[in-house]
Amino acid sequence: MKQESETKKKLLETALELIWQSSYGSVSVDDICTKAGVNKGSFYYAFKSKSDLAVAAYERYWETKRPWLDHTFSPQVPPLERLHNYCQGILTDQTSKYNSFGKVLGCPLCALGSELSTQDENIRKKVEQMSIRKAKYIEALIRDLAAEGAIDSKNHLELANEVQSYINGVLVQAKIENSLQALERLEQGILRLLNVKLATI
């Protein structure tokens, strides 16, 4: 049982790393197995397909990020501070990836979703589910900003989705440009989008 668990862990970590660095279509089961040091028979014992592995790998990615999101978006932290910490966290993460791989990797969810949403329904559903989860954090932040009178918002979820779309777009642009500069301006862009009243900044 321990060996199976370790095998799955290696496959999940390797799949996320390789897909994020390049693309789902360019990474084969053989590539994943070779990098993970797992034989192909063990792969198919653990997962029915590459698609199932990808879904599980991205769910695992979410579970590793969730404690940080819970901490960053804690209601005990002032909402504008939450936003600042979130944007800094994105920049720090992307900078770390850039230093490791020599390129801006962007958002793993955006990359997978935009590549496969018209081809693989299971992957599309998983990416959509994770996007909804992320939007809930932003929605709570927006609700608290509205309660403070820092912004005018009647539909918090709609505005949260707009902010999330903006963040995704900036991450894609940073990846296209292979530059972190767009991410350095992320927070100011969100503040403009939210139309935060200057007195609260």
Full set of structural domains in the chain with CATH: 54-200 (1.10.357.10)
pLDDT at 198: 64
pLDDT at 1: 40
Q: Are the C-beta atoms of residues 112 and 54 closer than 8 Å to each other?
A: yes
pLDDT at 199: 53
Instruction: Give every residue of the chain whose pLDDT is below 70, as ranges.
Output: 1-4, 198-201
What pTM does this model have?
0.90
pLDDT at 5: 78
pLDDT at 2: 47
pLDDT at 158: 96
pLDDT at 146: 95
